Amino acid sequence: MHFLSTAATLLALTSLGNALSSSLQQVTGFNSGPTAAGMYIYVPTNKVSPAPIILAIHYCTGTANAYFSSTLYAQYADTYGYIVIYPNSPSPGGCWDVSSTASLTHNGGGDSETIINMVQYAVEHYGGDSSRVFATGSSSGAMMTNVLAGAYPNVIKAGSVYSGVPDGCFYVAGATAGMQTPAWNSQCADGQLIETAQQWGDLTRSYYPGYTGSRPKMLIWHGTIDTTLYYENLAQTLLQWSNVLGISFTKNNTNTPQSGYTQMVYGDGTELIGYSALNVGHTVPVHETVDLAWFGITGSGGTTTSVPSSSPTSTALPTSSTAGGTIPKWGQW
Ligand SMILES: *[C@@H]1O[C@H](CO)[C@@H](O)[C@H](O)[C@H]1NC(C)=O
């Protein structure tokens, strides 16, 4: 608990008064690999059948338990009956492998395939719905969300990406699956890897050659003053998904879903939306209710989604200054 920020600690304390129906469990029976990522799961007592599955993927130095504690996906699972899988990174730095060819490629191995195998396990053992699988995560978990959406569009139906980089942006030539420490790519992190929409789209398509099925609908969140994964990564990620989804920018809606955020709508707003968070750094608060609507678990999932200003979902994640001991080089966050 000591590594959580004050805000996250307060949130955890607050949620004590709002007891969960169930608890986070490690799934010891899961050993499919191919990497040693741990599988943790939250199954609410009122699980619906079959139950939608949300993959909630932690940041660097994070853990399954930290992401469980610092977000409200489990609390909302009690209301809506879905399952949450919290994968736990096998790397010493707690980062995900989002840079090896193996992890980037469909059925290529790596942490991405391990996470997809967790989905399969949840379908077989926990009554999960294979047709309603969603991914979300922060920082390194955001990168992994993009990787999963790119390599496994047949599994992932929608994603919500908090402060990440484009799919394939962290590719590091020579990186191999199972490497001890996922490789860092400063050019990408600093927002200096600039490509065209076509180039980014081609990259994503190359990870699953020949695939012609549907692609995930994506929400992309980023803070304008992020100095870990620079703001340019929002624009580059939106270029990528707009190309993959075959849609283009339509309009901006200011102060949506809350003051200071700009909602960047692509197409008709049902497949791709960016959220630019003014003067927010690397820790963009997780907006669980917006995500749930986007996933189709609640509401319309379209551009009308809004968060009441009286109850901001300001779930805070540890910032690099409070987390302690993070080596910036590996701090994908
Ligand atoms: C839409 O909003 C983004 C984020 O504030 C901004 O960078 C972009 O210039 C805006 N586009 C238009 C056409 O207003």
CA of 255 to the centre of ligand 1 (A): 12
Is 151 within the bounds of a domain? yes
Is 148 within the bounds of a domain? yes
Residue 307 has pLDDT above 80, yes or no: no
Is 192 within the bounds of a domain? yes
Ligand 1 lined by 276 (C-beta under 6 Å):
yes
Is 76 within the bounds of a domain? yes
CA of 153 to the centre of ligand 1 (A): 28
Ligand 1 lined by 262 (C-beta under 6 Å):
yes
- Burial level of 293, CB count in 10 A (0-12/13-18/19+)? buried
99 or 4, higher pLDDT: 99
CA of 121 to the centre of ligand 1 (A): 42
**pLDDT on residue 304:** 41
CA of 312 to the centre of ligand 1 (A): 23
**pLDDT on residue 322:** 28
Of 107, 91, 90, give the one whose Cα is nearest residue 148: 107
Residue 7 has pLDDT above 50, yes or no: no
CA dihedral 314, 278, 146, 133 (to 10 degrees): 40
Is the peptide bond prior to 34 cis by the omega test (within 30 degrees of 0)? yes
Contact yes or no for 299/305 (Cβ under 8 A): yes
pTM of the entire structure?
0.87
Total domains, the chain: 1
Ligand 1 lined by 250 (C-beta under 6 Å):
no
Q: Which two tokens stand for residue 148?
A: 């999963």
Shortest-distance atom of ligand 1 to CA 278: 5
**pLDDT on residue 172:** 78
Ligand 1 lined by 198 (C-beta under 6 Å):
no
Is 52 within the bounds of a domain? yes
**pLDDT on residue 182:** 75
Q: What angle do CA 291, 292, 297 make, to 5 degrees?
A: 150
**Residue 210: φ, ψ to 5°:** 85, -10
CATH number at residue 255: 3.40.50.1820
Residue 261 to residue 116: CA distance in whole angstroms: 32
CA of 236 to the centre of ligand 1 (A): 14
CA dihedral 145, 150, 156, 157 (to 10 degrees): 110
Q: Are strands 272-277 and 38-42 parallel, antiparallel or unpaired?
A: unpaired
**pLDDT on residue 320:** 35
Is 300 within the bounds of a domain? no
Mean pLDDT of the chain: 87
Residue 300: pLDDT band by 50, 70, 90 thresholds? low
91: domain range? 6-294
**pLDDT on residue 183:** 80
Collapsing DSSP to helix, strand or coil, 256 comes out as coil
**Residue 133: φ, ψ to 5°:** -115, 130
Residue 50 to residue 285: CA distance in whole angstroms: 29
Ligand 1 lined by 264 (C-beta under 6 Å):
yes
From the candidates 91, 103, 139, 242, give the one annotated as an active-site residue.
Answer: 139
Residue 52 has pLDDT above 60, yes or no: yes
Q: What angle do CA 6, 7, 13 make, to 5 degrees?
A: 90
**pLDDT on residue 177:** 63
Is 66 within the bounds of a domain? yes
pLDDT tens by residue, 101-129: 999 999 999 999 999 999 999 999 999 99
- Burial level of 318, CB count in 10 A (0-12/13-18/19+)? buried
**pLDDT on residue 180:** 55
Is 313 within the bounds of a domain? no
Of all protein residues, the one whose alpha carbon is nearest to atom 11 of ligand 1 is 252
Residue 270 has pLDDT above 90, yes or no: yes
131 is catalytic: no
Residue 171: pLDDT band by 50, 70, 90 thresholds? confident
